[in-house]
Amino acid sequence: MSMRSPRASSRRQRIAVAAALVVAALGVPSGCSREPGGTGPHRPRIALVMKSLANEFFDTMEKGARAHQKAHEVEYELLADGIRDEQDVARQNDLVELMIAKKVDAIVLAPADSKALAPACKKAADAGIVVVNIDNKLDAAALAEKGLTVPFVGPNNRRGARLAGEHLAKRLKAGDEVAIVEGLPGAFNAIERRLGFEDAMAAAGMKVATSQTGKWEMGEANEVVGAFLPSHPGLKALLCSNDSMALGAAAALQAAGKLGQVLIVGYDNISAVQERIRKGEILCTVDQHADQIAVHGIEYALRILRERSAPADQETSVDLITAESLK
């Protein structure tokens, strides 16, 4: 039979006090909600809603977020989910609705479509849920129409694409023909990347012979590039708005016997593309630090919950990745 000694119970009390001090020092949000029917404050629940988990970019994003949560376990709880297909906007909408039903404290969202997700964000905000937009910016007009302000934490995609385009331009001569492989047209970051590529090509005097969507997908890009290659035999480069599409473009060039002759630019810095850059099959990509994008959004959401303030947008970094920088 075990009896609790006064020494053991006072040790337990000391541990409880120490734990409370740690929690206080870590600044657990004061505005957090309470367990239903419970008495003590609970850790805020942050929902991370991503796009296609089949894309390494989002897998890296999720891993980064999970590592951050593990290191800040006492501060918050993380619920993470995403869609399987880049274009499944309806499913992503359902995921946001599900998080609203779960009464999370904040939703950190990388929207698959900049306009279509605005109503779900409004619904979340009306339910008192903090919404932080990451990665792909929500459409300003769609938000204004709903009378909603949602802070954006993410990169300047036009600048990132321009960096890659400028690097490519050094390998071309004025008047050379290039093609752009765009992301989904309803995504603001897809539009911005096209504009960034166009900026760089215009500044260097290149001719954009065609610009078509590969819908962010390897297979789609493979098809679209395979289809336009024969009608543009003089193409010198393909500027792809993400790495999945750069891989699809590389396969199309390989099938046409042109891999290595037509330069390829990607965006995301996924591992498969790093390998191709080292081999000289892809010229460069852009690192938007996938592992940190959601982390910045989560930290931002925690800050809003804590301070109940509405901080301004926050720009995250983009870096050019070349064979040189990978050494």
Q: Compute the distance between CA of residue 82 and CA of residue 77 in angstroms, rounded to an integer.
A: 17
Q: What is the C-alpha separation between 243 and 57, in angstroms, rounded?
A: 9
Q: How far is the CB of 30 from ligand ALL (least distance, A)?
A: 33
Nearer to ligand ALL by Cβ, of 136 and 222: the residue is: 136
Query: DSSP letters of 45-104?
Result: EEEEEEEETTSHHHHHHHHHHHHHHHHTTTT-EEEEEEESSTT-HHHHHHHHHHHHHTT-
Q: Tell me: does residue 76 bind ligand ALL (CB under 6 A).
A: no
CB 120 within 8 A of CB 96: yes
Binding residue for ligand ALL, selected from 136, 222, 269, 316, defined by CB under 6 A = 136
**Total binding residues for ligand ALL by CB under 6 A?**
14
Report the residue number, 76 or 188, with the smaller CB distance to ligand ALL.
Answer: 188
Check the CA dihedral 127-131-136-139 and report its sign. positive
Q: Using CB under 6 A, which of the segments 23-31, 47-55, 89-97, 199-207 binds ligand ALL?
A: 47-55
Task: Pick the closer one to ligand ALL by CB: 235 or 245.
Answer: 245
> Which one among 29, 45, 55, 229 touches ligand ALL, defined by CB under 6 A?
55
Which range binds ligand ALL by CB under 6 A, 49-57, 101-109, 139-147, 206-214? 49-57
| Residue closest to 300 by CA, chosen among 36, 76, 71 | 76
Q: Give the bridge partners for 212, in sequence order.
A: 181
Interacting residues toward ligand ALL by CB under 6 A: 51-52, 55, 57, 86, 110, 135-136, 189, 216, 242, 244, 267-268
